[in-house]
A and B are shown apart, each in its own frame.
Chain A
Amino acid sequence: MLLAKLALGFGGTLLVAGAYTFHEGVMRVDEDHVNVRHVHVWLPAAVVPLALHVIPKHQLERAAEQASPWLPTLRALTKELKKYPEAELINVRDSNQRVHIRTHNGKLLIDVDGSEEQVHLACPLAVIDDVSSELEANAPTV
């Protein structure tokens, strides 16, 4: 009986977490280099802001310091892009490579297809906003 209740509680929590993940989406990074390495990262978007609280503070401060000149731009850009959840922004291609930047379903999608390497990024705009806010909070004050 106790096990059944524990299972019910665990199942309920899992369902809520799953539903939240489904709601917030998945952050996806795929990086392929010809004959060198392949990196594929799929993360529930809800995990990313939580992970920032786990990163050692000095590492976060260093990242924030490096990113600080661009954080206001990133925040403004994210805030504005949220108003355009379905938009083709940049599409550049030639015979060797293609760069495609767009928003879809509230996510920022960046696809770079080159002859040597490919990078595909899909990140919910809300996550970029959360991460930039967190970095801004950790950025050194002038």
Chain B
Amino acid sequence: MASHSWHSLRNSFFGAALLLLIAAATVALNSLAQASGNPPQSSSNTKQDRWLHVRVENPDAKDEIVRVNVPLELAERVLPTIDRDSLHHGKVRVDQIDCHGVDLRALLDAVRASKDGEFVTVQNKDADVRVAKQNNYFLVHVIDRKNSKKAHVEVKVPMKVVEALLSSGKDELDLVAGLHALSTQGDTELVSVKDERNTVRVWLDSKNVSD
């Protein structure tokens, strides 16, 4: 009887050990398969992600570069969790931002309410400035001729984004709503700045790297 119990105990032990080994081997093989070139599947494969890219380059110093690539969905989810300084629940208080006397919200509100057209046009020997609303885009175009190398600024923001930014209360801009509106847009260049030292580009596309 004792011998039988010992026998079944030994069988159970070996059975359990065998199961452990199989489980370990399965986990190890699974990990090896992932490591050997089958990248982990992600939800990003199922739908097209929208990425916001920022790139700053200095053509005279090739070793100076800034590259930022942010998935819009990530920014949309993370921003509301930040409750710091002027940023609360994905909204930024503009009354605390120094815009050199310009009421940013009032300016954007005026642009939203007006029809297509040019709001500001300045052309002289030093500068060429144009602020306009055209084909559902808010456009800013600046050429600064004061410096030896001309500086260019081009800003192109979809009006849907401007409207979403203004959808919050007074003195606030709803950044999350703005990002959400941006995510529905096609590939587009939002900001391009070129001065004598740096070139800055901010654009939107579906690639997860800036080339």
- Which residue numbers of A lie inside 8 Å of B, CB to CB? 5, 8-9, 12-13, 15-16, 18-20, 22-23, 69, 72-73, 75-77, 79-95, 105-106
Contacts and interface: CB of A to CB of B under 8 A. Distances in A.
7 contacts: A15-B20, A20-B27, A77-B78, A91-B68, A92-B67, A93-B63, A95-B64
A132 B82 CA distance: 15
A105 B28 CA distance: 16
Nearest to B41: A85
Interface string B158-171: 00000000000000
B198 to A, nearest CB: 12
Interface of A is mostly: helix
Contacts of A82: 42
A85 B64 contact: no
Contact of A80 (B39, B78, B83): B78
B74 A81 contact: yes
Given A16-B20, A19-B27, A95 B61 contact: yes
A16 B35 CA distance: 18
A87 B20 contact: no
Query: Top 8 nearest A-B pairs by Cβ distance?
Result: A80-B74, A72-B81, A19-B24, A91-B67, A73-B81, A19-B28, A19-B27, A15-B24
Given A92-B65, A95-B61, A95-B63, A83 B42 contact: yes
Contacts, number: 104
Contacts of B63: 93-95
Contacts of A84: 42, 44, 49, 71, 74, 208
A84 to B, nearest CB: 6
Nearest to A95: B63
B69 A89 contact: yes
B120 interface: no
B11 interface: no
Contacts of B81: 72-73, 75-76
Given A86-B39, A91-B67, A76 B21 contact: no
Contact of A15 (B21, B35, B64): B21
B106 interface: no
A85 B23 contact: no
A13 B42 contact: no
A106 B187 CA distance: 27
A12 B74 contact: no
